[in-house]
Amino acid sequence: MGKLHYYNLQIARYSKELYTKFLQYYAVFKQFCFEHKQQIIASIAYIPYIGWLYPLYACEGDGVIQKHAKRGLLYAGVFVFAALVLFLLLFILPRSWRLLSFIVTIFLYINYFIYYAIVIIHIFNIWKGKDFSIPKFEIYLEKIEQYI
């Protein structure tokens, strides 16, 4: 019974300190989120595959966030379509064509790698305050803006 009482006293003693530290860190985090709200939401737009959904519909009044959300939608659509085409090609190929199946699989992983690299570059440039765009995608982005 003595050890249990001792542990209970230690928990009661340090829980107040931990709670005050938690409140301090929470206040700093809340201030950071308030100051960088636009950058955070623009970064969310590039979360792979579905990150564009929240910024596109929740922040309709902000042009910068809308631009990033539409870019995120375009990148997700293009790379998902490419992955589906490669996967279906891989699925259709006969089992005896292993070398071609291996090459298609390599292209599938390259597709994923390029998509994640573009996402990381965009998020990095958002936080640096620069505008990064791929010229070929920007042409299609302007066409897609009519429908979104």
DSSP 134: -
As a whole number of angstroms, the distance between CA 70 and CA 148 comes to 8
With a CB cutoff of 8 Å and minimum separation 6, the contacts of 60 are 66
Buried b / exposed e across 53-64, counting CB within 10 Å, b at 16+? bebbeebeebee
The reported pLDDT for the residue numbered 60 is: 84
The neighbour count for residue 4, using CB atoms within 10 Å, is 8
Q: How confident is the model over 74-132, as pLDDT tens digits?
A: 888 889 999 999 999 988 888 888 888 899 999 999 999 999 999 999 999 998 988 88
Band of pLDDT at residue 1, cut at 50, 70 and 90: low
Query: Taking the model in full, what pTM does it have?
Result: 0.76
Residue corresponding to tokens 């490419």: 82
